[in-house]
Structure 1
Amino acid sequence: MTVSVDIGTKTSGQRAAVDLEELLATRLLVQGNSGSGKSHLLRRLLEQSAPWVQQCIVDPEGDFVTLADKFGHVVIDASGTERDLALIANRVRQHRVSVVLNLESLEVDRQMRAAAAFLKGLFDAERDHWYPMLVVVDEAQLFAPAAAGDVGDEARRLSLAAMTDLMCRGRKRGLAGVIATQRLAKLAKNVAAEASNFLMGRTFLDIDMARAADLLGMDRRQAETFRNLDRGQFVALGPAMTRKPEPVKIGPVETTGRGGSPKLVPLPGQPAEDAADLIFKRQEGELLPRAAAQPVSTSDVLMQLARSRPEPTPPPEAPDLFADVEREAAIDEVMTALLAEPEAAFQSVSILYQDFLVRCRIARVPGDPPDLPTFRRRLAIARAGVEQGSMESSDWDQATLVAASLPEDIRGVFLLIARAALQKAPCPSDSEIAKAYGTRSPGRARRLLAYMEERGFLVCASDLRGNRLVMLPDLGWQTAPGAPDAVAAE
């Protein structure tokens, strides 16, 4: 069944329709300066498609929460932890509920982290829950910036990775990305390039007009037409709409946003003396202003400094060697309890670190908790199945040195294989390697082995029975043959 969504009219007077099934397969990019009507366009598309497809709106300004009253969307205020958002996103896919992720109460850095956790939760849902879903991201340049800005590198990396997964690999999981941005130049090219449908609104900057013209296959001289577009008018192109660029006027909507354009209101009429009293006269219930500070003489300042001499600090106490041992033991217990959770092997490092900090506070671990890089190293060793103190040897120290040359997220996989080789155990299966990496995908495990083999960290081979064995050239170790398709032990 083909479902056509009416978004407005063309200049010829014909109905402008969007093939919803084609849109789910080819994604959409909306671009236009502030005030060009992007939010109006997205609202029209969401309202018309609401009866046909599940929807998720990532809303940084809280403008789309009004859809809940008319169309039954559930508003999710991002006030919990990143782990909570990931779990909620998994339930959203499981129960096929349309939602609005409201981020207006968060700063930009936390908005990026919250959006990344929620999108990753949608992306990592079980295969049985890969139902079609329209994922609309307003102000996409915030979540997939083309260059580093004032936000932290970690938040930017997480958000950009989640947006890239949505646009590049989301189609096979039923996720259809619809992203809207004020400026194409500020949007990461890898994210924008995956869209096959475009709606380009009013644009004034030359660099944005040039990129819009390139995406639509228009001549650079025709790019000037984007300056003359009216509010709510867009140039459409794509397999879900039209095969050649055509102007489209967006139709009316049934709901309104909480923001909207400012409206002119007449000034209140009042005499000038009354207006002055409103500003300068203290109103009932207001606090009295502080009295003006009196000038202080130099002698008074010197006397105050003399009276406020700091007390001598006591000598530092001798370090308690037993306290460090107890602290390490307490941290190991927290790590063991954390990784004992059923879903801990498949959570991102950022979510696990937040849970780890909370558990450290509950357990009253003395001293400052380990920082994120230290936690990553501990997590890699723990996911490799290496218990504290079980591998205390020069050989294992050499293995950890070799693993330090790999990216942090892959070290646990290398150490898992190195442990098997040192103990002459069978080669870990694809599912065991995937679990050590934090995923359920055996294909990703095979790609990790290929990645490390290309860089000379290991060599994979198969025996006559089809079992896999891995050799570690830098260490001179080799695993025993193991079945690659064996099921990982819980």
Structure 2
Amino acid sequence: MTSIILGQGRDGSDTCIDLPELLATRLLVQGNSGSGKSHLLRRLLEQTATLVQQVMIDPEGDFVTLADHYGHLVIDVEDQSEASLRAAGERVRAHRASVVLNLEQVEAEMQLRAAGAFLNGMFEAPRAHWYPVLVVVDEAQLFAPVAGGDTSDEARRLSLGAMTNLMCRGRKRGLAGVIATQRLAKLAKNVAAEASNFLMGRTFLDIDMARAADLLGMERRAAESFRDLARGQFMALGPALSRRPKLVTIGPVTTASHATGPVLVPLEPVSAEDLRDIILEPVHEFTPRPRRESRPPPPDLLAQLDAYGAEREAEEPAPAAVVVEADPDQLWSLVAEVVAGEGSDYKPLATLYQDFQLRARIQGLSRNVLELGPFHRMLATIRAGLDRERSESEDWKQAQAIAATLPEDVQGVFLLLARTALDGETCPGDEALARAYGTHSLGRARRQLNYLEEREVIVLQETPLGRRVAIVGLGWQTV
């Protein structure tokens, strides 16, 4: 059994925490501000720094000092996008790096988005990288709130979904959540309910004391004992801590936070007259510039041109419109130009279709020369790597018929697999699948393979040499 010493019990004996059991059962820490939650988390992180990979979601920048002593990587999110944070979450698991996600310099909206993207990236890591990770979230009520606040619903759903995945589904992926909150009443119930270990610190509100007592299996009349706990004292219960509620005083720590608490400083004697001159010093106010006289607005040139055009149309009959017939090769070339545009793999279909319509109008073609459905199929075919001549073959028409039975967002993935299987090539990698699906998330792209297999259009086989895909009904296989 791998145990670490968390602190001392009431009788002075060591109180240990079973690390393997903690990784399997998760931990919830509650205590009012000043009860010692950050001290407890720091003690836990220091004692396990050499035993397990650690990820710290730090909204206040209190834990960045771990980098100096234990080599943690500090990720400042102020210059990072959601896509880069999601990718960073996947890479952290692949390289087993202990990191501190520092959210101190960003506003509340970005804190939720950054934490949600990073945790989702960790959650979507490939199965080969499911190593044990201790994921510590301080001030968890910010990331999994019961009710809405000043942040947008989208950011709140992203963060709450990531926290729910961490606590509810993270165990099988090696993610062990340790969440700390000031009040259980502010924390989403489906997040708090998944913890099996509890450390309850000082609290004063009746509703919080009653809920803490219920979690620890204590009698209601004993709930008021939470008011008497000193700073750094917690009631412990859980399979990784103690089978019965036990008082523990958290042990000392090596590192310290950059933030310091309030310190009493003697007042310097200053006369009231000097203070008056300093505090009530006149402020120079700029006199506003005089307003300019209003001038009549200039004549509307566009209105004049429209009026002139209307007069000319009334006087002269309009010439017959020149209709340019659509050439299939020309349409293929226009769609190929859209595909070759910068960042086209990740642009929405509607944006790409507007780009095609603009190119068609420049060539003198009608705006509706190619409807959205045929445009999407031609777009997916070009992305799959076929030329126009092969796209007219009977084999490829069969593949397009199967793709037409699937949702639009996965048709590109299926056609890419069909083309590689038709040519007898190796199965596309995760990055190629992500581009075909239009996402930066490799995990989300990999899940489409399982979806296509559930729809019984492909057969997926994992081999020591890589993936192998066969197209159902056509007999094509990747090598």
Aligned residue number for residue 315 of structure 1: 302
Which deviates more from structure 2 when the two are superposed, residues 306-315 or residues 240-249? 306-315
Q: What secondary structure, in the 3-state scheme, does the structure 2 residue paired with 1:30 have?
A: strand
Aligned residue number for residue 8 of structure 1: 7
Q: Which has the larger radius of gyration?
A: 2
Aligned residue number for residue 21 of structure 2: 22
Q: Which runs of 5+ in 1 are unaligned?
A: 283-287, 340-351, 366-376, 404-409, 452-457, 468-478
1:71 CA drift (Å): 1.6
In 1, distance between residues paired with 2:131 and 2:339? 40
In the TM superposition, 1:54-73 aligns within 5 A as: 54-73=53-72
Answer whether contact 2:124 2:444 (CA < 8 A) is retained.
no
Q: What secondary structure, in the 3-state scheme, does the structure 2 residue paired with 1:270 have?
A: coil
Aligned residue number for residue 102 of structure 2: 102
1:15 CA drift (Å): 0.9
In 1, distance between residues paired with 2:180 and 2:378? 39
Q: What secondary structure, in the 3-state scheme, does the structure 1 residue paired with 2:235 have?
A: strand
Aligned residue number for residue 284 of structure 2: 289
1:127 CA drift (Å): 2.6
> Given residue 311 of structure 1, which amino acid in structure 2 is its aligned partner?
P
Change (3 A) 1:213 1:443: farther
> Given residue 9 of structure 2, which amino acid in structure 1 is its aligned partner?
K
Output the aligned Cα RMSD.
4.6
Answer whether contact 2:380 2:411 (CA < 8 A) is retained.
no
In the TM superposition, 1:291-440 aligns within 5 A as: 291=286, 304=292, 307-315=294-302, 333-334=340-341, 337-339=343-345, 385=380, 412-413=409-410
Residue 26 of structure 2 corresponds to residue 35 of structure 1: no
Q: What secondary structure, in the 3-state scheme, does the structure 1 residue paired with 2:145 have?
A: coil
Change (3 A) 1:242 1:450: farther
Q: What secondary structure, in the 3-state scheme, does the structure 1 residue paired with 2:256 have?
A: coil
> Given residue 240 of structure 2, which amino acid in structure 1 is its aligned partner?
A
Aligned pair count?
Answer: 396
TM-score (norm 1): 0.67
1:22 CA drift (Å): 0.8
1:445 CA drift (Å): 5.7
Change (3 A) 1:18 1:226: same
In 1, distance between residues paired with 2:60 and 2:211? 26
Change (3 A) 1:313 1:419: farther
Aligned residue number for residue 177 of structure 2: 177
Identity of aligned residues (%): 52
> Given residue 87 of structure 1, which amino acid in structure 2 is its aligned partner?
A
In 1, distance between residues paired with 2:190 and 2:122? 20
In 2, distance between residues paired with 1:260 and 1:81? 31
1:14 CA drift (Å): 1.6
Aligned residue number for residue 129 of structure 2: 129
Change (3 A) 1:131 1:311: same
Q: What secondary structure, in the 3-state scheme, does the structure 2 residue paired with 1:315 have?
A: helix
1:3 CA drift (Å): 1.8
In 2, distance between residues paired with 1:62 and 1:73? 13
Aligned residue number for residue 372 of structure 1: none
> Given residue 285 of structure 2, which amino acid in structure 1 is its aligned partner?
R
1:308 CA drift (Å): 4.2
Q: What secondary structure, in the 3-state scheme, does the structure 2 residue paired with 1:17 have?
A: strand
> Given residue 52 of structure 1, which amino acid in structure 2 is its aligned partner?
L
CA offsets 1:312-367 (integer angstroms, 9 cap, x no match): 4442799xxx9xx99999765448x543xxxxxxxxxxxx579x99xx9xxxx9xx
Change (3 A) 1:449 1:150: farther
In 2, distance between residues paired with 1:33 and 1:353? 46
